[in-house]
């Protein structure tokens, strides 16, 4: 189901189902990330959903790392709570990530121990002209979530832009993913249906 206009990148509360017909095949990307063959085959036929809730709190300017910077405005920050359900399979996960641009450690069944950071950015900051225009046309707030992830053990990094795009005349939540390792780079777009009760 297409996303209603009430949903925007600053309001992702709800359940989102991966639309495999509209999404790119992530198999090559998973292979680059070191996901075992048998796991990739299981994921190819599995259904995936994200249950997202949000909370807002005052920013915490303390940091475990001297290299990390606090929230830009020192005001409120959003935390995304994401429960990923994969059926069938034992790849379900629950994560909470503060949208403040600081790396956080987490462990995921598919990808292992990773570092991830999220931050809101303006669509004006997107360098790719076609992608910027696509997000601007469907993102009411003219904002996207900029995600960075890395797995030091496996040697890969990823850059993800979460936003809304119009696809075949309908509005969907998308995650545009670029993953690289050494000199190899793979791009894939994941498209999500909005499930409303």
**What string of pLDDT tens digits covers the 197 residues of the chain?**
899 999 999 999 999 999 999 999 999 999 999 999 999 998 988 999 999 999 998 765 444 433 333 344 557 899 999 999 999 877 899 999 999 999 999 999 899 999 999 999 999 999 999 999 999 999 999 999 999 999 999 999 999 999 999 999 999 999 999 999 999 999 999 999 998 75
Rounded distance, CA 15 to CA 193, Å? 8
Give the pLDDT confidence score for residue 161 in this predicted structure: 98
Q: Where are the domains of the chain?
A: 14-56+76-195
According to the model, what pLDDT value does residue 57 have?
Answer: 86
Tokens of 148: 């960075």
The alpha-helical segments, DSSP class H, found in 123-165 are 129-138
Contact predicate 163/174, CB 8 Å: yes
Predicted pLDDT of residue 60: 55
Return the pLDDT at 197. 57
Looking at the structure, give the CATH architecture of the domain made up of residues 14-56+76-195.
Answer: Beta Barrel (2.40)
Claim: this prediction has a pTM higher than 0.85: yes
Residue 135 CB burial class (10 angstroms; 0-12, 13-18, ≥19): buried
């Amino acid at each position: 189901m297409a996303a209603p206009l009430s949903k925007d990148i600053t309001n992702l509360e709800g359940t989102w189902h991966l639309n495999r017909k509209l999404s790119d095949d992530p198999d090559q990307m998973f292979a680059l990330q070191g996901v075992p063959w048998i796991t990739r085959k299981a994921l190819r036929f599995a259904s995936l959903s994200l249950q997202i809730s949000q909370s807002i709190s005052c920013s915490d300017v303390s940091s475990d790392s001297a290299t990390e910077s606090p929230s830009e405005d020192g005001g409120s920050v959003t935390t995304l709570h994401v429960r990923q359900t994969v059926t069938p399979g034992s790849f379900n996960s629950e994560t909470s990530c503060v949208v403040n641009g600081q790396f956080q450690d987490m462990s995921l069944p598919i990808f292992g121990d990773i570092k991830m950071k999220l931050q809101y950015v303006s669509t004006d900051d997107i360098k790719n002209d076609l992608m910027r225009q696509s997000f601007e046309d469907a993102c009411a707030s003219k904002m996207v979530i900029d995600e960075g992830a890395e797995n030091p053990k496996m040697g890969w990094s990823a850059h993800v832009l979460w936003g809304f795009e119009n696809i075949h005349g309908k509005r969907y939540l998308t995650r545009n993913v670029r993953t690289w390792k050494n000199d190899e780079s793979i791009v894939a777009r994941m498209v999500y249906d909005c499930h409303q009760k």
